[in-house]
Structure 1
Amino acid sequence: MTSEPKITLLLVDDHAMIREGYRSLLKKQARLEVITEASDGAEAYQRFKDMHPDVVIMDLSLPKQGGIETITRIKQREPLAKILVFSMHQNPIFALQALNAGTLGYVTKNSAPEILLQAIYEVYAGRHYLSPDMAQALALEKSGYQHTALKSLSTREFEIFRMLAESRSKEEIARALNLSQKTVSNCHYLIKSKLNVSSDIELIYLAIRMKVINFSELSGSETELLEPTHKITH
């Protein structure tokens, strides 16, 4: 009797403890084998090129080059690459952008372990898979102007929007995404135009309101810009 082939995995997450926890879970499955890991997007792309895993399990919130941009780069290199997003983001906009970039599955990190395992097998088989909470979120998604505007962003524009909202400089974004500063500046203008905002402060407000970033994750200097001034000068 011939045993089923191993499914080789690339595990991408910037937290070593999280990778260790999920590696332990995956090791318990006879067919699953984590053959390599990465802590950021650039490293993930290099590991994919070097190791050719069957399935990439990809976080989205990565330092420097983010997950969606990394998915785009991997799919450009290997159109048949099988990628499963495993993310804390429950905003359906992230799932839509990831699917547009070429991922086959999207599972949120508050899902039960068996959901992640089922998703891996489904993606390996070439089928799309969404965790139940994300499937419900997409089904209930409002079709208001702001959601429609966010959906109009390309995957690269969305990644730049997220990084701008985190107050990363254009120079830093250009380095992370392997773009020229002029390209980032042009995208910055297009993003503000598509989202109908006139300033970066409005852009940050919109990102928080649409749950693209969390207010608690902003630095002190950024929150000072957003909070109303309570001092009254007599």
Structure 2
Amino acid sequence: MAVLVMTGTNSAAPIRVLIVDDHPIVREGIAALIERQADMVTVGEASSGEEAIACYAAFLPDVTLMDVQMPGTGGIAAVEAIRSGSADAAILMLTTYPGDAQAVRAIQAGAAGYLLKNSIRKELLDAIRSVHAGRRAVSPDIAHALAVHALDERLSEREVAILRLIADGHANKQIAWRLGVSTDTIKANLKQLFAKLGVDDRTHAVTVAVRRGFIDR
């Protein structure tokens, strides 16, 4: 577990930030940004969801910066675990992909914000201050994706499972066997799935599903 403890020197209590990301360079970059702010201080770092849960309990930060995709316990599962014990935890998600479906899951889990990593230098500091003040913070690209797909029909658990199996290279007969249904049922599910995603074939379905965050690749 990587932990960095610091103390603020300004008279007003600084915003205490926990940084969670499985890439050390990302953590170092964020810590360097925070270090230059008079109203913020890094209290800890973690490289996984499991470490994030433990560090949150140890340091009780004001704001937690949480990577979405990490080996083992992912960011969204870590948010759920932290929020189950601390309903007022302010957690800001960081992601590489502007997928609306993944953003919805994060917000439903209790995240207060959702930022793209490529906009960290422009948006992160204001976002930290916003979620600390009880407001939400969402990158414009993600907000746009959420607005565009707000009225779309949601995918069912079976449809998401089918997408994962397609992405792993399984044919309809194999998917049917794995899900315990008939091949005709899978064909009907695919027809409905393609309509929801606005695609015409399996390859395009996987591409759109990954981009929007329904499945990880």
**TM-score, normalised with respect to structure 2:** 0.71
Please list every run of 5 or more consecutive structure 2 residues that lacks an aligned counterpart in the other structure.
1-9, 169-178, 181-185, 191-200
Q: State the one-letter code of the partner of 1:119.
A: A
Instruction: Give aligned pairs, total.
Output: 181
Q: Per-residue CA shift, 1:120-167, capped at 9, x if unaligned?
A: 00000111111122112212226444xx11xx66xxxx8x99998886
Structure 2 Cα separation of the partners of residues 165 and 14 of structure 1: 28
Cα distance in 2 between the residues matched to 1:49 and 1:134: 30
Partner of 1:40: 48
| Aligned pairs for 1:186-201 within 5 A | 196=189
Structure 1: how far apart are the matches of 2:26 and 2:88?
27
Using a 3 Å threshold, how does the CA distance of structure 1 residues 164 and 30 change in structure 2: closer, same or farther? farther
Tell me the alpha carbon deviations over residues 43-84 of structure 1, each in whole angstroms, 9 at most, x when there is no partner: 110111111111100010111111111100000011111100
Alignment of 1:84-233 (within 5 A): 84-111=92-119, 113-141=121-149, 143-145=151-153, 148-149=154-155, 196=189, 206-210=205-209, 211=211
Aligned equivalents of 2:133, 2:13: Cα separation in 1:
13
Matched, 1:74 2:82: yes
Take 1:166 and 1:116, find their aligned partners in 2: how far apart are those partners?
33
The answer (yes or no) to whether the contact 1:8–1:55 under 8 Å persists in 2 is yes
**Deviation digits for residues 93-118 of structure 1, max 9, x if unmatched?**
11111100001111111215231111
Identity %: 33
Conserved 8 A contact 2:102-2:214: no
CA–CA distance in 1 between the matches of 2:97 and 2:136? 18
Per-residue CA shift, 1:211-234, capped at 9, x if unaligned?
25699x95xxxxxxxxxxxxxxxx
With over 3 angstroms needed to count, the CA separation of the structure-2 counterparts of 1:32 and 1:204, relative to structure 1, is: farther
Q: What does residue 13 of structure 2 align with?
A: 5
| Residue pair 1:165, 1:213 contacting (<8 A) in 2 also | no
Separation in 2, partners of 1:91, 1:73: 22
Distance 2:84 2:166 in 1: 26
| Aligned counterparts of 2:163 and 2:54: Cα–Cα separation in 1 | 23
Partner of 2:196: none
Give the stretch that moved more between structures: 136-145 or 20-29: 136-145
Q: Distance in 2 between matches of 1:162 and 1:50?
A: 39
Tell me how far 1:88 sits from its aligned partner.
Answer: 0.9
1:204 shift after superposition: 9.3
Which of 57, 67, 82 aligns to 2:65? It is 57
Instruction: Find out whether 1:30 has 2:29 as its counterpart.
Output: no
The equivalent of 2:173 in structure 1 is none
Deviation of residue 26 (structure 1)? 1.1
Counterpart residue identity of residue 209, structure 1: V
Give the structure-1-normalised TM-score.
Answer: 0.66
CA contact (8 A) 1:86 1:107 kept: yes
Quickly say closer, same or farther: Cα 1:126–1:18, change in 2 above 3 A: same
- Counterpart of 1:123 in 2: which secondary structure? helix
